[in-house]
Amino acid sequence: MEKVGDVTSHTNDRSIPLAGESRTALRTWPAIGLLSLMMIAKGLPWLFSEPPQSVQVASLLGPAAAALFLIVWWLFASRAGRKEKVGGLLGLGVVAGLTFLLLHPTMRVFELPVTSPVVDSF
């Protein structure tokens, strides 16, 4: 029997997610850790007056490897929903494409012959 002043019987049961609400919270610590590793790798050469070649290679390839691990984590190990995963990957592709299109001609080292007429027209 329900009491007149009983508020608990009318509250939403939080075990059932509302529309647009996920069941578990998104873990951010892997992304924060990988982004921190990127910044540390980029800052390594600043610790040396003449950095050795291994440090230079680590500062170049470290952020690229961390970005690859970040993409793999986002797609296969994160708690994000399918829409967020696909949207994030498509957003990354759009940003990469825009970056390539807006590069200065002297910075276009990896230019493909197929895209040359399109890119050069801008």
Q: What is the DSSP string of the chain?
A: ---TT--GGGSPPTTSPPTT--SSPPP-HHHHHHHHHHHHHHHGGGG-SS--HHHHHHHHHHHHHHHHHHHHIIIIIS---HHHHHHHHHHHHHHHHHHHHHS-GGG--S--TTTHHHHHT-
Percent of the chain past pLDDT 90, that is, above it, reads 24
Domain membership of residue 101 as a residue range: 81-122
Provide the domain count of the chain.
2
Same-domain status, 76 and 89:
no
**pLDDT at site 105:** 77
Output the six-digit token pair for 7. 């508020």
pTM exceeds 0.85, yes or no: no
Whether 74 maps to a domain, the answer reads yes
pLDDT tens, residue by residue, 27-57: 888 889 999 999 999 998 998 889 899 999 9
**Would you state the pLDDT for residue 79?**
86
Domain co-membership, 75 together with 85: no
Report phi then psi at 71, rounded to 5.
Answer: -65, -45
Interhelix angle 29-43/53-72, nearest 10 degrees: 160
Name the average pLDDT for the chain: 78
Is 92 found in the same domain as 68? no
- Domain assignment of residue 37, yes or no: yes
pLDDT in tens, 100-118: 888 887 777 766 555 545 5
